[in-house]
Every structure is written in structure tokens, then in C-alpha cells.
Copies of this chain bind each other. A is one copy, B any other.
Amino acid sequence: MRLHVPIRLRWSDLDAYGHVNNAEMLRLLEEARIEAFWVSHDARDAAVGASTAVIDGRPGADTITLISRQEVEYLAPVPYLRAPLDVELWIANMSGARLDVCYEVFAPPESEPRTLFARASTTIVLVDAASGRPRRITDHERAAWSPYQDEPLRFTRRT
């Protein structure tokens, strides 16, 4: 099963070529990840998959999430769109302190055709804020995330 996270572009995501910049794409994935996995402490914000949002990301929280690795294939330039992109997101691996998140970034659901703009994966390491050392995925986290575990992406452009 996959999460669907709507992610709005900003006009400033465009670079001088008039397309969403390649680095900015990683910020969009970051937002999708936060929306999906981080507890929201705003009462009214329960937009997406509240059941998977179990990491406390507030300043002073127990856990820090470090990015260990990222891989992106850019399949089509992303123009400026006012309707949110549809970021599909799932977990390919969970082991120890490590989590592999995969994404497929699509045009807004109503678009014709429904372009696949990018495929990506991010390896996250959960780190104990106090000790600065990796800490294992908890049973609670594993239970929340297991329904969204799926096959890893196959990247086709590696040399």
C-alpha cells in the first residue's frame, strides 16, 4: 500500500530554465516525508495518513532523522503547477535504525496525461538526540509503517 501526499509547488521552486530545480525536488520529497511520518502538533492538520505519523519532529524531541543516502531519476521536467503534485510514498526496507523511503512523483491526479516526473529513494537513519547515536526503529513505529512496506524501486539509469 502506498501513501499519497499532495505537495504544492512554489513559484520559487523554478530555476532560470523555468522548471522545478533538481535540488528543489529533494525539498519536495522532504515535505512529503514530514507530512507522512512526523507527528503534527497542529490540531487541525490531519491531512495525510495520520496513522503513519509517529516521529516527533519538534525542536527538543528525542529523535533526529539523518539522511544517509539519496537517489533520484528525473524523468520529465516539472513545470509550474498550482494544483499539488501527487507524491506516492512507501517504505522499502526497515532494519535496525534504518529506513528506506521510496517515492514516485506524479502530476496532479486530474492531469491528462498523469506524467511521472521523478522516482527517488531516501535512506533515513533514526538518531537519539541526546547521545547522537543511531537508535532502533521501535515496535510502535514498525507497526505504524508496516502497511506501507512495498518492493524497492528499480532504478533504470545506473551505470
- Chain A residues engaging chain B, CB cutoff 8 angstroms: 8, 10-12, 14-18, 21-27, 30-31, 34-35, 40-45, 57-59, 64, 66-74, 77, 80-83, 92-93, 100, 108, 110, 123, 152, 155, 157-159
Given the complex of chains A and B, what is the CA–CA distance between A71 and B71 in angstroms? 4
Contact B157 A59 (CB under 8 A): no
The interface residues of chain B lying within 8 Å CB-to-CB of A21 are 12
Given the complex of chains A and B, what is the CA–CA distance between A21 and B15 in angstroms? 10
Contact B82 A40 (CB under 8 A): yes
The interface residues of chain B lying within 8 Å CB-to-CB of A57 are 11
Given the complex of chains A and B, what is the CA–CA distance between A24 and B70 in angstroms? 13
Number of copies of this chain that the complex holds:
4
Residue of B at shortest CB range from A157? B69
Contact of A26 among B11, B23, B158 (CB under 8 A): B23
Residue of B at shortest CB range from A17? B64
Given the complex of chains A and B, what is the CA–CA distance between A57 and B159 in angstroms? 26
Residue of B at shortest CB range from A93? B159
Contact A15 B16 (CB under 8 A): yes
Known: A12-B23, A59-B18, A67-B22. A108 touches B30 (CB 8 A): no
